[in-house]
Each structure stands twice: as structure tokens, then as C-alpha cells.
Amino acid sequence: MSEVLLDVLVTDKKGNPILGLGPADFQITEDDRKVQVTSAAFYSNRRYAGSEAAPAAANAPADNTGPAPHYFIFLFDDQRRNSADVPGLLQRQVRAGRDAIEWLREGLAPTDWVAVAGYDNRLKLFQDFSRDREALERAIQSATTGRSGRENFPSRQSPSTPGAPALAPGLPVGDALGQETPTIYEALTVIGEASASLVGRKNLLMFTTGFGRMNRFRQYEPDPRYFEPMSESLNDANVAIYTFDLTDTGANHPFANAMSHISDDTGGRYFPNVLHFKTPIADVARETSGYYLVSYRAEHLTGLRGFQRVEVTLANPELEVTARKGYRFGE
């Protein structure tokens, strides 16, 4: 018997966090078997007052609304290799970086921690978790323009705040980072493993045109060698993927399904047809500003290891719920 903890987002139809729910409001199943929820506590990176959050009911009980850390990982899938074949793609990538910087300047909260990474046939860490806006801006510019491409080396990064959360200690060192991340699947797997020790939800904002492979009908299909290990790593580490489509608005392409797939599988969200990236970035920050830490007891046979799929629903069907899809056990 072991205790399972799930971070669960509950919002109204407009994306505003809901306060005041208790264990009876959550319904959790494992392999279609209902489990008993033992506790549900609300945590937030802000102190809600007035209309900042929608109450569950007029007599909703008080929750733990003290500030909690709020983690963001910006991952830019470098499109310079595709820019010759897709006119305007590089400009969209640069625009995404500028909009991300604008959000940093206007929307970064005191409890927010932001890291910046890139992918170009290997994972690159441009800036570990920081609240230094100038350092984060430089990292985003490097990730989106290709300048200072060696920023992933620790000696090139701004010093981290003492006691700050960090990805670097969990990442392969030097050339090993490239050797272990030859595919975007493996890069995301490594990020999941590196962030697993950080308690709480990690929101990974991925700017990309999609990934994967097409079958003979030119339809997207996940690579079975990599997708499941990646999904398990991200879910177990509580990393939710929010994908932002860098292709032009209105463009129709098969890899949009890849973005939707990974976001849905990790409890994130897919943003297609993005005109201004700042708006959906702000939506992610708002929707993830408060969450419930829900606990229950689970049973697994001694010596058995695997990945347990989980489904979370609510007693109130009018509310929206988002949660990771499972966890590893027996490790």
C-alpha cells in the first residue's frame, strides 16, 4: 500500500481556478477501479481575493492559498533547419521569443521560476530556473535566433540563486547531453527525469511545428520506440506539455496531431493557429496558478514495477479538470 499524490487543476469554463473543493468532489479510477480519495488541499502561487478566482460555492471552505512555487520551462524547437522549405517559419520563431520576453516583463510573478531550453538535434539548456528577467531574456534570444548557441554550458549561464530549483544537476554533462538526446522524444524524457525531484507541477511550454513520423497514408503516428518512455517519464515527473504551433495560422499539417497528442497525454494543452503568443502564454500562467494536491492509497503487488494509468473526474460536470495520466510504481 502506498500513497499517491496528484496535482489536479480545476477551472471554470473561462479558465479561472476553482477554490473550496474537498475529497468528495474528486473521482479517481485506476484501470476502471474506483479508489478512495483521502485528502484534497488547494495550493496557489498567488493570494486570491475578490474575483481573482471563482469560488466553488458561496459557503466554500477556506483552503491553503499561501504562495507556492510556479515552474515554467520554455523549450524552443529550433526551426532554422526547416526555414528554407517553409517561408516565414523562422520569423514566427523569433516572434514567439519576443512575445515570451514580453510576458516575462509584464506577467512574471514573484513565485515564478523559469528555465529556457532549446532543441536542435540535441537538447540545450540556455538558462536554468531563474527569476532574473535579464538573464531569461538573453536565454530566449539565444534559443530563438541561434546566437550564442553554447549557452547550454554551465560556465556560460548566469549564476543561479542559492537554493534555487535546478535542472542541470539531473542532466547529462557536456557532450553526453547531445549523445543522450538525438531525438526530441529523448530530450523530453531527459527533461522529465531531470525535473522529477522538484515537487509540484512543471509547465513545459514547447514552441514547435510538431514531430514524429507519418505512415503510408501521410498521417501522424507516434514512434513506439520513444513515445511511451517519454510519456511515462513526463507523467511520473509531473511535467505537463503545452504545445504552441509555429506554423502559420490556418495551416493544416499532420504533425499538429503530434502536438495535440503529447499535450493531452501529459495534462497540458495544444495551441493551434497562434497569432500572438503572449496571450496563450498568459493563459497557461493563469490556468495553472492554483491546483489541488489530491491523495489516495494504491495497492500494487510487491516486486512488481510498471506504469499505472489514472483518470481523474469531478462530481460537478460543469467544471473543467486537468491532471497527469499516471505514475510509475515499484521503483
Separation between Cα atoms, residue 136 and residue 142, nearest integer Å: 10
The pLDDT of residue 217: 85
Strands (DSSP E) along the chain, which ranges?
A: 2-11, 18-19, 26-30, 33-35, 37-44, 54-55, 70-77, 112-119, 123-130, 202-208, 213-214, 220-221, 239-245, 269-271, 290-298, 306-314, 320-323, 326-329
Q: Which domains does the chain have, with CATH numbers?
A: 2-67+292-329 (no CATH), 70-287 (3.40.50.410)
In the three-class reduction of DSSP (H, G, I as helix; E, B as strand; rest coil), residue 148 is classed as coil
Q: Residue 65 — pLDDT band, cuts 50, 70, 90?
A: very low
Q: Residue 67 — pLDDT band, cuts 50, 70, 90?
A: confident
Q: Among 1, 32, 3, which residue's Cα sits nearest to residue 293?
A: 3
pLDDT one-digit tens code per residue, 277-324: 999 999 999 999 999 999 999 988 788 899 999 999 999 999 999 999
DSSP string, 192-246: HHHHTTS-S-EEEEEEES--SEE-TTS-EE--TTTHHHHHHHHHHTTEEEEEEE-
Instruction: Calculate the alpha carbon distances from 82 to 18, 85, 307, 318 in Å.
Output: 42, 6, 36, 43
The pLDDT of residue 7: 92
CB 127 within 8 A of CB 115: yes
